[in-house]
Amino acid sequence: MSARGHTRRELLGAGAAGAAALVAFPAAALADTTTTSDAPLTETERLQRLIQLELLGLYCYRYVLGSSILGRAAHQRLAPFVAHEQAHIAALEARLKARGGTVPSGPDSVKAANDDLGHRGIGGRLGQLQGERDALYLLLTLEQVTIGAYFVALINLNDKELVTLVCQIMANEAQHDAMIGLSLPKGTPQSAVPYGLVQGLQ
């Protein structure tokens, strides 16, 4: 088993509070794509949830890249992802506005981001990361949760243009996931792409 696989097990164990729930609970619980009622989300609501998750990802990338926690190689590799997340948000916002939806706001502080991470069961907290490894695992888990949210969205969306966009973004998040995996200690191409089917953390 790859080093990355081993550490995923660690993440899903006692070391990451709530992470075990990622597998056991329905995808929507993690991806925050459900409501408290049983009513299915409208496309507008689903877009809002996806944007909120992307905004959290953007905040975390900016925080990690803005600190000195990453080594040069990892920093160089991950730096372009900020622009990618911004582009995802812009594309989703355009679809949301076209449907008359209100654009949600993202976290405006480390505390708000950490609360959101905790709400989604993601281990690791901004401001408490002990080194590159911690930062990479936080971003890795966040990417996997994001992939899971897009996977759930695909099950429920019917608009073909939106389905295509979601596929394009989900595949891009999967590429981010692989590149973070490659940046981990002892990361290799095979440990960075360990699964034949990827639907994210659910």
Partner 1 sequence: MVADRDRASRRALLTGAGTALAGGALALAGCGSVATGKKAVKQTSMPVRQTDVKILSQALALERRTVSAYIATIPLLSRPRRKAFRQFLNEELEHTGELASLINAAGGKAGPRADSYPIGHPTDAASAIAGLHSLEALQISRYLELIPRLSPGPVRAAVASILTVDAQHLSMVRVLQGQDPVPGPFVTGSA
Please enumerate in sequence order all residues whose Cβ is within 8 A of that of 51, keeping only pairs 6 or more positions apart, or say none.
89, 92, 93, 96, 103, 104
Applying CB under 8 A, among 62, 112, 125, 194 the residue interacting with partner 1 is: 194
Window contacting partner 1 (CB under 8 A); options: 41-49, 55-63, 123-131, 171-179: 171-179
Cβ distance to partner 1 smaller for residue 44 or 199: 199
| Site map 84..113 versus partner 1, x via CB under 8 A | xxxxx--x----------------------
Smallest Cα–Cα separation from 56: which of 85, 30, 76, 35? Answer: 85
Q: Is 59 a binder of partner 1 (CB under 8 A)?
A: no
Q: Which residues, at least 6 apart from 13, have a Cβ–Cβ distance to it below 8 Å?
A: 19, 20
CB 88 within 8 A of CB 37: no
Instruction: Give the nearest distance from C-beta 173 to partner 1 in angstroms.
Output: 8
Residue type, 37: S
Residue 93 CB, shortest distance to partner 1, in Å, is: 14
CB of 72 to partner 1, least distance (A): 17
Q: Does residue 164 bind partner 1 (CB under 8 A)? A: yes
* Identified binder of partner 1 from the candidate list 34, 172, 183, 184, rule CB under 8 A: 172
Distance CA 71, CA 78 (A): 11
Give min distance, CB of 38 to partner 1, in A.
Answer: 17
**What would the two tokens of residue 137 be?**
């695992």
Q: Does residue 39 bind partner 1 (CB under 8 A)?
A: no
Residue 143 binds partner 1 (CB under 8 A): no
What distance in Å separates the CA atoms of residue 19 and residue 154, rounded to the nearest whole number?
A: 23
Question: What distance in Å separates the CA atoms of residue 126 and residue 128, rounded to the nearest whole number?
Answer: 5
d(CA 150, CA 2) in angstroms, rounded, equals 26
CA–CA distance, 4 with 18 (Å, rounded to integer) = 19
Stretch that binds partner 1, among 41-49, 81-89, 105-113, 119-127 (CB under 8 A): 81-89
Q: Which of 18, 194 has the CB closer to partner 1?
A: 194
Distance CA 141, CA 162 (A): 25
| Residues found near partner 1 in the complex (CB under 8 A) | 1-2, 5, 8, 12, 23, 80-81, 83-88, 91, 147, 150-152, 154-158, 160-161, 163-165, 167-172, 174-179, 182, 188-190, 192-199, 201
